[in-house]
Structure 1
Amino acid sequence: MVDALLALVATLGALVATGLLISRANKDRLLYLIAWTFTQVGLSLALLCMTVGFLAGFNGVLFRVAELGAALIGPIWLALGMIELIARYVQVRFAGWLFAISYTVVATVILVLDPLKGELSKKLPKPGSTYDALPLLLIDGAHVVAVLALAACTGVTAWLASKRDQEAAELLIPVALVALAGVLVVSGTRGFLPAPLAVIALGGAAGLVWYGAMRTIPVYEDEEGYEGYEGYEGYEGRDEYGDGYRDEPATGYEEQGYAGARHEPVSAPTPPAQDPRRGELRFPAPVPAAPIDDFRFRDNPAGPTAVDGVGSAAGAAGIGAAGIGGALVPEQARPAGAPQAGLSRLADACGQITVYTLLDGREDAFDRLATDLVKAALAAEPDTVIFACHEVVGAPTQRIFYQLFRDEAAFAAHRQQPHLQRFLAESRTHVLATNVIELRLGPAKVPLPAPEFPGR
């Protein structure tokens, strides 16, 4: 009777935690929360079957459901959620999903169809005495994979935190709690613990998963979303970029193979009213300028080009030059009377503004990726005229990319660049939402004279 009461209390607690996690996963549409929701459902079903078994006696259905939920689905999908949260490479996350889904399907079929042995009673059945060799091998495999994945993710997070990675430091405690939950799940389903301890272990694991999941979600003052940011009134995103820049959170780039993106647009928080520079653009903190190597002089012996948007004098002024890769040079570096090369080609110029809303605390990590992207564009994209990343004064989680290309061909070539694809894949964990605005060049000072347009 004591076992049944413990199981009932643990079941009620697990059901409450599961409901809360399902609600949050449905709201945020984060893939690791969805994976941990499967874990919570599995643990809740297992505890419910234990409660019924302790009261009325176990049978084949109750035993199989308990084993599927706690011994198979629980650890596998717990490890998958951890990989989705920690891994920064799309290949690792994709491999995790592929393995978890395929292993779960195959093992479920075998655990459901394999015949049982021995008699069942009101005592908690032991898998080793009830299942044959193949189901036990699959359960053991799930446990080994889960423990290794959880230990590896915890170790990587601790190592990154020791290197002063802010994101890893913030995730260290939630990751450790979830890893502990994995240990409790494996311990409670191996059959080594007595029934009361097994029930407590599974109930405690459900609570730790819920608490750890809540600690990984950024907390905003307005849980219903941000509204009324005057700096972006009238901007509407377009999804014509074709390479992952979408008017949706970066939790699901369709081209990168992700699903479950949140579809409600989220604007930036309203900045403080006392900030007189609200909505102004500025560049992130400068990084040391790269040594001037020969690729900057190949097409232009007069001097280096500017517009990398990060560390140059031109970039610090906003848009201070009109060329990348040696096609054009800043006015101060161009000798008097030198021809303004490439101006005739700007008549077909096109551009794009991409507004990123970052997750709280991910600004530095995103800025590092943006710096690498702009440097790569400087070295490899001669027809990208301007490529700059801005911060927004009064909105620390906003980043704005301004890009100007000589023509549609240069724009298309930019979309195929490997450094852009790498940026899209690695920055998705830092981005809450994006907004894209397509541009056509009109009368402008860039700072060289703009081409003639009808009506001027």
Structure 2
Amino acid sequence: MVDALLALVATLGALAATGLLISRANKDRLLYLIAWSFTQVGLSLALLCMSVGFLAGFNGALFRVVELGAALIGPVWLALGMIELIARYVQVRFAGWLFAVSYTVVATVILVLDPLKGTLNKSLPKPGKTYDALPLLLIDGAHVVAVLALAACTGVTAWLASKRDQEAAELLIPVALVALAGVLVVSGSRGFLPAPLAVIALGGAAGLVWYGAMRTIPVYEDDEGYEGYEGRDEYGDGYRDEPATGYEEQGYPGSRREPVGAPTPPPPSHDPRRGELRFPDPVPMAEAEDLRFSGNPAANPAGPTAVDGIGAGHGAAGLVPEQARPAGGPKGVPGGLGGLGRLAGGCGQITVYTLLDGREDAFDRLATDLVKAALAAEPDTVIFACHEVVGAPTQRIFYQLFRDDAAFAAHRKQPHLQRFLAESRTHVLATNVIELRLGPAKVPLPAPEFPGR
């Protein structure tokens, strides 16, 4: 009865953790969260079957589900999620998915169809006394591969963290927790522990996987208990209480940009206007109209058809246009000047990406898709452009201008943005962000079609 009560409590806890993780995986669409959701489902089913077996007695079906969930799916997909989180090469992640899916399918067929031996009762069956050699070999193989993968990922993360890799340092604790969960899964499912300890081990593993996963995912504005991105305080732009967007400065791996022991740069000055977008004092409207149509080359060097202000970038770029000439605008004045009053609360962001060598084309394809999605789905995003930097082929600069704070908040929730952040991280060495508050400006006319990529 004690075993049944422990199993029931562990099952309830595992089901709660599984529901929370699946909900977050569905929201964020991150592959490592999806893989760990399979682990949680396997552990929950195993604990549920243990509870039923301790109360009513085990049979072949309950035993097989316990082994499939805890001994096969649990460790294999736990290791797969770790590889998906840590590996920075797509080839490694692809190999992990190929092995996990194929091994799971083959082993599942064998574990389900292989005949059992011995008699089953209310005691937790030992796999070594119930399965023949081939199923035990597959279970042991899954455990060996999972333990090696988890240990390797933990070691690589610790080594990168020691090299001043900021991303690895932030992931070190979650990775260690998930690795510990893998040890508990292997110990609790192989029959090495007594029934009460096996139940506790599997239940603890489910809790550690959930907690470790929660420490690796982005935080949105509807999450409670988040105190904001501390690095934004230096900008003094009113966003220090906003949630993380995924664009924040990241130390992809800093050791490759500056040698260990390099002098630390002086801290930035705390100018309250630092980071704001500033322009010269605006020209009076009547004077601007006279200058523009007076033939003065300084006022209009490119001719009367030129687009003044912020234009499309050099390279993969796009523009979500403001209305060219809104109703009520001054006669003869381009729509940017006439519609500026509608952007009195405008805000923006400049994001500087430093790419890994050889990843420029892949990043540009993702950036082009992101800009096109913003053009189609974000009417209050006035400008969204990705610029290449002449003479710096591994640098990309995003410039974004939003109609107001609500448009900025809506942009951060867009699924195409979250997909871009998840898929581009393997191409990025470093990211730097400056958030802007719109000052005197002139909004551009619509940009041309997207350049081919």
1:319–1:182 distance in 2 versus 1, CA, 3 Å: closer
* SS, match of residue 136 in structure 1: helix
Tell me if the contact between 1:4 and 1:54 (Cα under 8 Å) persists in the aligned partners. yes
Greater mean deviation of Cα atoms: 192-201 or 351-360: 351-360
Pick closer, same or farther for the CA change 1:321–1:217 going to 2, 3 Å. closer
Q: Deviations over 1:233-277 (max 9, x none)?
A: 999999999999999999999999999999999999999999987
Distance 1:351 1:114, change over 3 A: same
The alpha-carbon distance between structure 1 residues 221 and 437, as it changes in their structure 2 partners (threshold 3 A), is closer
Q: 1:13 to 1:268 in 2, by over 3 A?
A: farther
The change in CA–CA distance for 1:204 and 1:232 in structure 2 (over 3 A counts) is closer
Is the Cα contact below 8 Å between 1:3 and 1:196 reproduced in 2?
A: yes
CA RMSD, Structure 1 to Structure 2 (Å): 14.7
**How far apart are residue 219 of structure 1 and its match?**
2.1
Deviation at 1:125, TM superposition (A): 0.2
Contact 1:280–1:393 (Cα < 8 Å) also in 2: no
Please point out which of 404, 414, 417 is paired with 1:417.
414
Question: Would the alpha carbon gap of residues 278 and 238 (structure 1) be closer, same or farther in structure 2, given more than 3 Å must change?
Answer: closer
Q: Which has the higher mean CA deviation after the structures are superposed, 426-435 or 21-30?
A: 426-435
The structural deviation recorded for 1:190 is 1.1
Over 3 Å counting, the alpha-carbon distance change for 1:163 and 1:110 in structure 2 is same
Q: Deviations over 1:94-121 (max 9, x none)?
A: 0000000000000000000000000000
| Structure-2 change in CA distance of 1:399 and 1:337 (3 Å) | same
Q: CA shift at 1:427, angstroms?
A: 3.9
- The answer as to whether partners of 1:237 and 1:437 remain within 8 angstroms in 2 is no
**Kindly tell me: are residues 319 and 404 of structure 1, through their superposed partners in 2, closer, same or farther at Cα, counting changes over 3 Å?**
farther
How far is the alpha carbon of 1:290 from its aligned partner? Answer: 49
Partner of 1:228: none
> What's the CA shift string for 1:106-164, capped at 9, x where partnerless?
00000000000000000000000000000000000000000000000000000000001
1:145–1:239 distance in 2 versus 1, CA, 3 Å? farther
Structure 2 residue 376 is matched with structure 1 residue 379 = yes
User: What is the CA distance between 1:221 and its match in structure 2?
Assistant: 3.4
* Range with bigger deviation, 91-100 or 404-413: 404-413
Q: 3-state SS of the aligned residue for 1:144?
A: helix
For residue 192 of structure 1, report the CA deviation from its aligned partner. 1.3
Q: Which moved more, 1:51-60 or 1:425-434?
A: 425-434
Spell out, residue by residue over 1:33-58, the C-alpha distance to the aligned partner (whole angstroms, 9 max, x if none): 00000000000000000000000000
Identity %: 92
Q: Contact between 1:181 and 1:205, CA under 8 Å: does it hold in 2?
A: yes
Aligned equivalents of 2:285 and 2:129: distance in 1?
67
Report the secondary structure of 1:423's partner residue.
Answer: helix
Note the alpha carbon deviations across 1:266-312, whole angstroms, 9 max, x for none: 99999999998798679999999999999999xx99999999999xx
Contact residue 387 and residue 396 of structure 2 kept, 8 A:
yes
1:444–1:292 distance in 2 versus 1, CA, 3 Å: closer
**More moved, 268-277 vs 342-351:** 342-351
Name structure 1 gaps, 5 residues minimum.
225-230, 311-315
**Structure 1 pair 444–197 and aligned structure 2 pair: CA distance change class (3 A):** closer
Give secondary structure in 2 for the equivalent of 1:221.
coil
> How far apart in 1 are the matches of 2:58 and 2:452?
85
How many pairs does the alignment contain? 439
Cα distance, 1:23 vs structure 2: 0.6
**Aligned partner of residue 255 in structure 1, secondary structure:** coil
Render the CA deviation track for 1:52-82: whole Å, top value 9, x for unaligned: 0000000000000000000000000000000
**Counterpart-to-counterpart distance in 2, 1:331 and 1:11:** 55
Q: Using a 3 Å threshold, how does the CA distance of structure 1 residues 422 and 295 change in structure 2: closer, same or farther? A: farther
- Quick check: 1:320 aligned with 2:309? no
Alignment of 1:139-178 (within 5 A): 139-178=139-178
Structure 1 residues 307 and 37, CA gap change in structure 2 (3 angstroms): farther
Alpha-carbon separation, structure 2, partners of 1:380 and 1:355:
23
Residue 11 of structure 1 contacts residue 48 of structure 1 at CA under 8 Å; is this kept in 2? yes
Q: Is the 8 A contact 2:251 2:430 kept in 1?
A: no
Separation in 1 of the partners of 2:327 and 2:20? 68
Q: Closer, same or farther in 2 for the Cα pair 1:376/1:435, shift >3 Å?
A: same
| 1:105 corresponds to | 105
SS state of the match for residue 288, structure 2? coil
**Structure 2: distance between partners of 1:332 and 1:302:** 22
CA deviation after TM superposition for structure 1 residue 418, in Å? 28
Structure 2 vs 1, CA of residues 100 and 343 (structure 1 numbering), >3 Å: closer, same or farther?
A: same
Rounded Cα–Cα distance in structure 1 between residues aligned with 2:286 and 2:362: 19
Report the CA distance shift for 1:288/1:347 in structure 2 as closer, same or farther (over 3 A).
closer
Kindly tell me: are residues 257 and 401 of structure 1, through their superposed partners in 2, closer, same or farther at Cα, counting changes over 3 Å?
A: closer
Given that 1:72 and 1:142 are in contact with CA atoms closer than 8 Å, whether structure 2 keeps it comes out as: yes
Contact 1:10 1:47 survives alignment (8 Å): yes
Identify if the C-alpha distance between structure 1 residues 235 and 151 changes in structure 2 by more than 3 Å, giving closer, same or farther.
closer
Out of 349-358 and 161-170, give the one that drifted further. 349-358
Pick one of 204, 218, 231 that aligns with 1:237. Answer: 231
- The secondary structure found in structure 2 opposite 1:122 is coil
Q: Contact 2:236 / 2:273 at 8 angstroms: preserved in 1?
A: no
3-state SS of 2:98 partner: helix
Alpha-carbon distance, 1:169 to partner: 0.3
Instruction: Go from structure 1 to structure 2 and tell me whether the alpha carbon gap of 1:134 and 1:59 turns closer, same or farther (over 3 Å shift).
Output: same
Give the Cα–Cα distance (whole angstroms) in 2 for the partners of residues 417 and 20 of structure 1: 21
